[in-house]
Amino acid sequence: MTPIRLIALLFVATAVSASAYVGYWGYGGESRDLDRSVRIGSFGGGYSAYSRVK
Amino acid sequence: MTRSAALVAINCTCCGAGLDVLGGGRVEVHICPYCGSTLNAQDNYKLLGQHDRKRQTTTPIEIGMRCHLHGVDYTVIGLIEQYERWAGQSALWVDFQLYSPTHGYVWLTLENDHLTLSRRVRTSRMLTPAEVERAPAQPRLKFRGMWFKYYETSTSEAIYVAGEFSYRPQIADRVTTVTVVAARAALHFSRTGQEDEVEISTYVTPAEANDAFGTDLGLRPSGVHPEQPLRKGPNHDFLRRLWLCGAGLCLLLALLLSGGRGSTVLNTTYAVNDLPVEVPFAIATANQLVEIELSGPVNNSWADFDMEVTGPEDDPLFGIGRGIEYYTGSDKDGRWSEGNRTARVRFRPETPGTHALFLDLSEAGNWPATTPGTPIREVSLTVREGLTSGSWALRSGLFFVALFALMIARQVLHHARRWQGCDWTDED
């Protein structure tokens, strides 16, 4: 096993392991349009400022 | 009749120049490089004829040089410069006759600084220009376990000859050759007068040539020769397989992780007239993906909802809007439908505990206005935790696919460049 092959093998193993780990914990699956601004918490009737995603 | 093995040098019987005798006993003629005389090597070097010596050629390989090529010792004993003109283009190359006491006579061809080594083969198979002309498809043939495909038909003319040869070459000799190419070799079918010859050739890299001759020949090949294999490093095939395996593993992982639905922590239904509501739900594990799913029996109608989620400390986490809609109908093409009766939100809570979801109906309506659909009357709410995500695995998989594709693209490009000079055309 040459050094280049060993490095490449470790790289692939790391990528697969890291993908499995972050995938198990749900990274990358969150919705991207969550409004985390300071305006939230003022929930009430009437006009809503949230963008609608259907 | 063979020449004496003890003969090592002669004087040209025409001009008296000293000539080394390098070839074996099967040498037929010796052409003096100084005066162009063709001497009969089998009959005391009697004069057979004389070429015009106006043209001279210079090559990095000279008569008398020795090389160790593919495990065999050779000596360069002769050279023929060939010229071809076709379709407004011309080509020039040099064929060197090499001699080995153990392996006989072979040819080393130098064209545009590309080198190939050719050896005669005994085979009854012959491919003639007439057969190529009549072939309905690009001719292919199998030889020694390799598949060869037609490359070109060329007619060359010798414009300079010098040295020793196992036959009698002459200036203006014309040879028509049909060439077929495989992945790592080529076959050349030649007909000169009444004689058919078949040779197999393989590519010699500049590094191999320098190593064989023990000197830097200064070869700087331009373009890609049809017999030139792709220059691969020692790790090329390993890396290609590794990228493919990596891509396969990551894409499989993406598929498995995308299907992870976690565990349900809340499943309830509300009448829209009861909205807004505050719905508590318990999250057991922090930092895992949580999904809030809204669904409702809309039919040619739509409904928009506002949601706010707070954490265990009643701290606001985020707000979001989601809509559900579904439409059906029929037209001249048949029935159609569009929309989705389900909407989802996903987030990763940082702390475990009881969270709260504030849910309100923002707007609702029917479509089309002239034929009212079914207005929404209730909405189902489902909360799941512990979902998995295949997003990063998919990205990794695509990255490895790209690496693999780059390597394949290099092979494909090289193959295309090898076949660029092929003269076959498919006629309708």
> Does the pLDDT at position B354 exceed 90?
yes
What's the CA gap between B403 and B293, in Å, rounded?
38
- Scored b (16 or more CB within 10 A) or e, B94-109 reads bbbbbbeeeeebbbbb
Query: In this complex, is the C-beta atom of B400 within 8 Å of any C-beta atom belonging to chain A?
Result: yes
Mean pLDDT for the stretch of residues B304-323? 93
In whole angstroms, what is the distance from residue B184 CA to residue B163 CA?
A: 30
Place of tokens 């090559």: B59
Residue B104 has pLDDT above 60, yes or no: yes
Chain A residues within an 8 Å CB radius of B235: 2, 4-5, 8
Put simply, the answer to whether A34 touches B318 (Cβ < 8 Å) is: yes
Three-class secondary structure of residue A53 per DSSP:
strand
Output the CA torsion sign for B234, B240, B241, B246. positive
Share of chain B above pLDDT 90, in %: 72
User: Mutation test of the interface with chain B: which of A4, A9, A31, A36, choosing the one with the most B Cβ atoms within 10 A?
Assistant: A31
What are the pLDDT digits (tens) for B83-97? 999 888 899 999 999
**CB pair distance less than 8 Å for B239 and A9:** no
* Cβ contact, residue pair B393, A19, below 8 Å: yes
* Structure confidence at residue A35 (pLDDT): 82
Q: Provide, as residue numbers in chain A, all residues whose Cβ is less than 8 Å from the Cβ of B395.
A: 19, 28
Q: How confident is residue B132, by pLDDT bands cut at 50, 70 and 90?
A: very high
Q: What is the pLDDT of residue B426?
A: 82
Name the 3-class secondary structure at A51.
coil
Angle CA(B236)–CA(B242)–CA(B247) in degrees, nearest 5? Answer: 130
Q: Which of B254, B322, B388 sits opposite A53 (nearest CB)?
A: B322
Please report residues of B whose CB lies closer than 8 A to that of A25. 287-289, 348
pLDDT band at A54 (very low <50, low <70, confident <90, very high): very low
d(C-alpha B419, C-alpha B373), whole Å: 64
Q: DSSP 3-state assignment of A34?
A: coil
**Residue A48: is its pLDDT beyond 60?**
no
Query: ipTM of the assembly?
Result: 0.77
Q: Are strands B316-331 and A52-53 parallel, antiparallel or unpaired?
A: parallel
Which H or E element spans position A23? helix A3-24
Flag the least confident range among B7-21, B168-182, B309-323.
B7-21
Beta carbons of A31 and B242 less than 8 Å apart: no
Kindly report which listed range (A18-22, A41-45, B217-221, B377-381) carries the lowest average pLDDT score. A41-45
Collect all residues with Cβ–Cβ distance below 8 Å to B343 and sequence separation of at least 6: A53, A54, B293, B294, B295, B305, B322, B323, B324
Express each pLDDT in B160-211 by its tens digit: 999 999 888 988 888 999 999 999 999 999 987 667 899 999 999 999 999 9
A52's enclosing H/E stretch is strand A52-53
Contact partners, residue B215, CB within 8 Å, separation at least 6: none
Q: How far is CA B348 from CA A45, B128, B258, B292, B388, in A?
A: 27, 73, 16, 11, 11
What is the pLDDT, as a whole number, of residue B428?
Answer: 55
Whether the pLDDT of residue A46 is over 50: the answer is no
Query: Do B253 and A16 lie within an 8 Å CB cutoff?
Result: yes
Question: Would you call B345 and A31 a contact, using CB atoms and an 8 Å cutoff?
Answer: yes
**pLDDT, chain B, mean:** 91
Average pLDDT estimate for B348-372:
86
Residue B425 has pLDDT above 60, yes or no: yes
Is the Cβ of A46 closer than 8 Å to some Cβ of chain B? no
Q: Which residue of B has its CA nearest to A19?
A: B393
Instruction: Name the residue of chain B whose CA is nearest to A16's CA.
Output: B250
For residue B82, pLDDT over 90 is answered with yes
Tally of CB atoms within 10 A around B372: 12
Q: Cβ–Cβ of A5/B235 closer than 8 Å? A: yes
Instruction: Give the per-residue pLDDT at B372.
Output: 65
Mean predicted lDDT score pLDDT of chain A: 78
Q: Do A25 and B288 touch (CB under 8 A)?
A: yes
Closest by CA position to B181, among listed B190, B172, B189, B191: B189
Contact (CB<8Å) A45/B360: yes
The residue among A14, A30, A39 with the most chain B CBs within 10 A of its CB, best to mutate, is A30
| Confidence grade of residue B365 (pLDDT, cut at 50, 70, 90) | confident
8 Å CB contact of A27 and B391: yes
In angstroms, the CA B270 to CA B6 distance is 111
Q: Which residues, listed in sequence order, are joined to residue B197 by a DSSP beta bridge?
A: B190
